[in-house]
């Protein structure tokens, strides 16, 4: 039991460190192959923050633990919008860029509507399930999103902090190998440990995914958010969080469903609604605050309090 808990915690560390190592190594190899920094940024670097969620979901999917998989995605999105953005705004008011307001937040809300329709098959007289066809549909929308990013790369808010560092080929390959191994063992230990912890705490796999697992896999976004805010560049936090939310649904859940169809509990519509509401609140804050297109400290604090209430609700009632 103690060893499982130690590996559970260590697994999160390996996921975060491994994702960064793999991204850095792959980006450097891309630079050696003379692939443009913009292309590498839009693919490898941009997807890096969703790697922990993806790896956890792959292991959960192969293990038939669908509740943990979908809980991880929805929980990560709630964490990103309420805790990550809220923490950044408390440290430094967050300016909302033009593309974020006009495209990214509305698209993230549209993605949630698509997820709701795909997951709630009972509306059409079938069992609730995110099947392989649904997974392919989500991945196709992912392709649309990447195309839009390419088309607007010169004025894009999401791309301002994407950097590609060139290192030696041998060291880059070492990072790729070590990062991949870290992701493998980290994902396995997290999923195995989550089942044990959920059993000992008497909570469901869904609640575990919505809270502890999703909170830990969102640590890269939270750290990036706090550092950006302290450097008076808090708008990066919002762009990263919204971009990560879109990737979590379209890429992470899409791949998860393609590997193994994901049964969906109607109870999770509450979490989908909360993610939708939190995104809608960002748009409302942008239009109604004292400073236009800005999220202030009080609004950030409100988001954090909503996150605390969400965690309490998830652990108590899920």
The pLDDT tens digits of the residues spanning 126-157 come to 788 899 999 999 999 999 988 887 777 655 55
- For residue 250, the model assigns a pLDDT of 94
Is residue 39 predicted with pLDDT exceeding 80? no
Report pTM.
Answer: 0.86
Strand-pair partners of 187: none
Per-residue CA distances from 134 to 112, 137, 145, 255 (Å): 13, 5, 17, 10
- For residue 86, the model assigns a pLDDT of 92
pLDDT band at 206 (very low <50, low <70, confident <90, very high): confident
Range of the domain at 46: 2-317
- For residue 163, the model assigns a pLDDT of 60
Strand-pair partners of 186: none
- For residue 37, the model assigns a pLDDT of 59
- For residue 50, what is the domain's CATH number? 1.20.1420.30
Buried b / exposed e along 153-162 (16+ C-beta atoms within 10 A):
beebbbbebb
Is residue 92 predicted with pLDDT exceeding 60? yes
pLDDT tens digit sequence for 264-294: 888 899 999 999 999 999 988 888 867 677 8
Lowest mean pLDDT among 121-135, 259-273, 302-316: 121-135
- For residue 155, the model assigns a pLDDT of 56
Nearest to 59 by CA among 278, 256, 266: 256
Q: How far is CA 228 from the centre of its chain?
A: 18
Structure tokens belonging to residue 257: 């469903």
Q: How far is CA 94 from the centre of its chain?
A: 20
Task: Give the pLDDT mean for 84-88.
Answer: 90
Task: Give the pLDDT mean for 111-132.
Answer: 89
- For residue 295, the model assigns a pLDDT of 87
Number of domains in the chain: 1
**What is the distance between the alpha carbons of residues 223 and 317, in angstroms, rounded to a whole number?**
29
pLDDT tens digit sequence for 5-30: 888 889 888 888 888 888 788 878 87
Structure tokens belonging to residue 186: 């980290």
Torsions phi, psi for 16 (to 5 deg): -70, -45
In 3-state terms, what secondary structure has residue 159?
Answer: coil
Is residue 38 predicted with pLDDT exceeding 60? no
Q: Report the range out of 1-10, 89-98, 100-109, 218-227 with the highest average pLDDT.
A: 100-109
Q: Report the range out of 137-141, 242-246, 310-314 with the highest average pLDDT.
A: 137-141
């Amino acid at each position: 039991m103690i060893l499982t808990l130690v590996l559970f915690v260590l697994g999160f560390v390996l996921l975060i460190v491994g994702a960064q190592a793999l991204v850095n190594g792959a980006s450097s190899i891309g630079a050696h192959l003379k692939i443009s920094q913009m292309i590498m940024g839009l693919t490898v670097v941009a997807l890096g923050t969703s790697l922990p969620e993806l790896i956890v979901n792959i292991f959960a999917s192969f293990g038939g633990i669908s509740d943990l998989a979908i809980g991880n995605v929805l929980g990560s999105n709630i964490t990103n919008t309420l805790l990550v953005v809220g923490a950044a705004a408390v440290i430094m008011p967050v300016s909302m860029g033009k593309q974020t307001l006009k495209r990214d937040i509305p698209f993230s809300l549209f993605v949630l509507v698509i997820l709701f329709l795909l997951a709630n098959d009972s509306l059409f007289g079938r069992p609730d399930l995110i099947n392989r066809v649904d997974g392919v549909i989500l991945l196709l929308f992912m392709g649309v999103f990447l195309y839009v990013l390419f088309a607007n790369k010169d004025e894009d808010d999401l791309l301002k902090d994407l950097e590609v560092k060139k290192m030696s080929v041998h060291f880059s390959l070492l990072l790729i190998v070590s990062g991949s191994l870290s992701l493998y063992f980290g994902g396995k230990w997290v999923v195995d440990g989550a089942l044990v912890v959920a059993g000992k705490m008497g909570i469901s796999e869904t609640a575990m995914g919505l809270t502890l697992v999703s909170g830990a896999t969102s640590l890269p976004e939270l750290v990036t958010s706090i550092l950006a805010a302290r450097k008076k560049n808090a708008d990066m936090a919002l762009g990263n969080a919204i971009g990560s939310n879109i990737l979590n649904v379209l890429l992470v859940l899409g791949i998860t469903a393609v590997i193994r169809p994901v049964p969906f509990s109607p109870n999770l519509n509450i979490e989908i609604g909360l993610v939708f509401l939190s995104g809608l609140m960002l748009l409302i804050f942008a239009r109604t605050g004292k400073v236009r297109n800005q999220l202030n400290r009080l609004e950030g604090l409100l988001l954090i309090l909503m996150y605390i209430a969400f965690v309490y609700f998830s652990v108590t009632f899920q």
